[in-house]
Structure 1
């Protein structure tokens, strides 16, 4: 049995499809889980409740933690540490291996221009401190010899059906509405994005590779060094519109955040967009022998879906 905790999100759905290559026994866990494959076992659970997590993990060989919480600092500080403790305790009790789908928030600002698995941990944001704490929880158990686990780390992601993607929300959706695109902080800086289908394929592969455990892995991400302007121009060309855009500064996010809480939450993360942001996945590429989908190919899938939905 391989179990996905947080099965309905941007990664959980394609991950369930990819796991079919490895097992016919897949359990999907969420508050309101829905089948992805016909043979999936559905298990409703609240991951902040220890007893429910324990029951959800029971009988699992590999557990994938792909849950996403509301993008709100208070929610993250209150719920993430509890959720992670529940998952780790359950995996230890039932001798299940853990694959934690993670982001880059815990890296020190100086690492952002070229991130590797060995980049220093030194978060300056409160959300980053939460994420660093989660990684510490995992490796404390690993180093104690009571848990086998790995970190599958992604850059900002993009792909079809992903409403929370910066490319989708700030560029594609705005062009669909006839508005200007928006970009955070500085559109002249390089910014890496991980394609969700690549992330899901790689996460399934890692979870089913015994020698991948007790390590951090960057999920396959294009080596192309495109700037915000490059992405905007590419998307505008695909959509047949002029590449008009405006910049979301910290000040503007604070003002608009009065009416749009999500923008207020982005202010402390703006340092990830005012400098180059390059995500190096060469460790994965060399070990598993494949590379990420080129941006033009992945972006076209995302744009085509948006245009179909519009029509």
Structure 2
């Protein structure tokens, strides 16, 4: 049995499709799970409840923690440490391996221009501090020998993404679709890596089913030739047959907009990731598994067709 905690999020559905290659017993856990594969086992649960986490994990060989809480620092500070603790305890009790789908918010700002699995942990944002703390909880358990687990990290992602969890999809694709200018943060002339969601799901499934991949951190497959914001907008505009117009939002403006638009308040502290090159290096994964990430133009075309 392989179980996805947070099956209703952006990664849950493509991950369920990929896991079908490894098992015919995939348990989907969310408040209102829906089948992806015919043989999927649906398990409705409120994962903020410790007891329901244990019930969801029981009987699992591998557990994938891919839940996405609302993009609100107060929610993150309250829910993430508790969920990580409960998931770890449940995995230890039922002898299940744990795969944690993570982001890069915990890395030091100086590492953003070239992030690897060895980049220093020194978050400069409140959200980054939450992510650093829960990753540390997990790796401490691994070091103590009581848990078999791995961390799979992705850059900001794009592609046929469920919900409004992709900044690139929301700021560029959907704005151009509406005949509006694309929005970008910080600087449109800095390079920015994005992880293609189907590649992230495929990579997560591979790691979860590779015994010697555990007890370490992996960057999920991401194409190395990052584009600038301006180049991304031009690429979307080209294939959508839309004018590639762009508006750049500086940090001070995002903070001011946050007075009226709550999500902008939450995004303002993350703009440091857009005022410099943001290069996500997945060569460790690509070399180990001989994996070739999807090129950006192909990913953009898929976003346009299925986003």
Q: CA deviation at 1:255?
A: 2.2
Which position in structure 1 is the counterpart of 2:166? Answer: 165
**Superimposed CA distance per residue, residues 85-143 of structure 1 (whole angstroms, 9 cap, x where no aligned partner):** 01000000000000000000000000000000000000010100000001011011101
TM-score (norm 1): 0.97
**Separation in 2 of the partners of 1:305 and 1:255?**
33
Provide the secondary structure at the position in 1 that maps to 2:218.
strand
Which position in structure 2 is the counterpart of 1:218? Answer: 219
Which position in structure 2 is the counterpart of 1:271? Answer: 272
Q: CA deviation at 1:225?
A: 2.6
Provide the secondary structure at the position in 1 that maps to 2:270.
helix
Q: CA deviation at 1:24?
A: 0.3
TM-score (norm 2): 0.98
**Separation in 1 of the partners of 2:270 and 2:70?**
16
Which position in structure 1 is the counterpart of 2:250? Answer: 249
CA contact under 8 A between 2:251 and 2:268: conserved in structure 1? yes
Which position in structure 2 is the counterpart of 1:134? Answer: 134
Provide the secondary structure at the position in 2 that maps to 1:117.
coil
Provide the secondary structure at the position in 1 that maps to 2:16.
helix
Which position in structure 1 is the counterpart of 2:188? Answer: 187
Once superposed, which parts of structure 1, at least 4 consecutive aligned residues long, lie more than 3 Å away? none
Which position in structure 2 is the counterpart of 1:309? Answer: none
Aligned pairs, number: 306
| 1:196 lines up with 2:193 in the alignment | no
**Superimposed CA distance per residue, residues 223-272 of structure 1 (whole angstroms, 9 cap, x where no aligned partner):** 11311111011011111111111111112212222221111101111100
CA contact under 8 A between 2:100 and 2:152: conserved in structure 1? yes
**Separation in 2 of the partners of 1:191 and 1:261?**
24
| 1:100 lines up with 2:100 in the alignment | yes
**Separation in 2 of the partners of 1:5 and 1:225?**
31
Q: CA deviation at 1:38?
A: 1.0
Q: CA deviation at 1:58?
A: 0.4
| 1:9 lines up with 2:9 in the alignment | yes
What is the 5 A alignment of 1:223-238? 223-238=224-239
Which position in structure 2 is the counterpart of 1:152? Answer: 152
**Superimposed CA distance per residue, residues 6-63 of structure 1 (whole angstroms, 9 cap, x where no aligned partner):** 0011101000000000000010001111111111111111112111100110000000
Question: Structure 1 stretch 30-39 or stretch 205-214: which is displaced more?
Answer: 30-39
Q: Which runs of 5+ in 1 are unaligned?
A: 307-311
Q: CA deviation at 1:153?
A: 0.3
**Separation in 2 of the partners of 1:265 and 1:250?**
11
Alignment RMSD, CA only? Answer: 0.8
CA contact under 8 A between 1:99 and 1:152: conserved in structure 2? yes
Provide the secondary structure at the position in 2 that maps to 1:241.
coil
**Separation in 2 of the partners of 1:153 and 1:190?**
19
Q: CA deviation at 1:300?
A: 0.4
**Separation in 1 of the partners of 2:201 and 2:20?**
12
Provide the secondary structure at the position in 1 that maps to 2:247.
strand
Q: CA deviation at 1:149?
A: 0.2
CA contact under 8 A between 2:194 and 2:226: conserved in structure 1? no
Which position in structure 2 is the counterpart of 1:281? Answer: 282
CA contact under 8 A between 1:17 and 1:36: conserved in structure 2? yes
Q: CA deviation at 1:304?
A: 2.1
